[in-house]
């Protein structure tokens, strides 16, 4: 068959591709019908129809999520020796007072609270 494909023109190959796609769709529809018939027969053995079985599916419970809790603010880790009211948690951007103190040669451990 490989020799046949190599000798075919582009139009012939496109036609073949379209035919194969149609055949695949038909095969899928046929398999679906056969599966549905088999399911109907299996349900009938127990005295049910597929619609009756479909209605009895247990409904999935939706997970109830409560309101999102606000994030707790971090505790300050460093304090400005000149003004102890100015603090920094050690997270995020360094405040100017902290950066200036480190540039002066002050050890960050001495600024800890």
Tell me, yes or no, whether 62 lies in a domain.
Answer: no
- Supply the pLDDT for residue 37: 95
Lowest mean per-residue pLDDT among 10-14, 18-22, 35-39, 66-70: 66-70
Between the two ends of the chain, the Cα-to-Cα distance in Å is 82
Tell me, yes or no, whether 70 lies in a domain.
Answer: no
The answer to whether 96 and 86 are in contact (CB under 8 A) is no
Tell me, yes or no, whether 67 lies in a domain.
Answer: no
Tell me, yes or no, whether 25 lies in a domain.
Answer: yes
Tell me, yes or no, whether 105 lies in a domain.
Answer: yes
Which residue range(s) make up the domain with 102? 78-111
DSSP 32-82: HHHHHHHHHHHHHHTT--HHHHHHTPPPPPPPP--PPPPPPPPPP-EE-SS
> Strand 87-88 to strand 78-79: parallel, antiparallel, or no bridges (unpaired)?
antiparallel
Predicted TM-score (pTM) above 0.85: no
Which residues, 6 or more positions from 82, have their beta carbon under 8 angstroms from its beta carbon? 97
**In the chain, helix, strand, coil percent, each to 5?**
55, 5, 40
Is the pLDDT at 108 greater than 60? The verdict is yes
- Supply the pLDDT for residue 61: 74
Tell me, yes or no, whether 66 lies in a domain.
Answer: no
Tell me, yes or no, whether 31 lies in a domain.
Answer: yes
Number of domains in the chain: 2
């Amino acid at each position: 068959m490989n020799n046949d494909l190599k000798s075919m023109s582009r139009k012939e190959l496109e036609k073949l591709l379209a035919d194969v796609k149609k055949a695949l769709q038909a095969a899928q529809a046929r398999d679906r019908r056969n599966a549905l018939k088999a399911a109907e027969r299996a349900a009938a053995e127990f005295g049910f129809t597929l619609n009756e079985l479909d209605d009895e599916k247990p409904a999935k419970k939706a997970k109830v999520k409560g309101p999102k809790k606000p994030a707790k603010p971090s505790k300050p880790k460093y304090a400005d020796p000149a003004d102890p009211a100015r603090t920094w948690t050690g997270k995020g951007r360094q405040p100017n007072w902290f950066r200036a103190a480190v540039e002066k040669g002050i050890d960050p451990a001495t600024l800890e609270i």
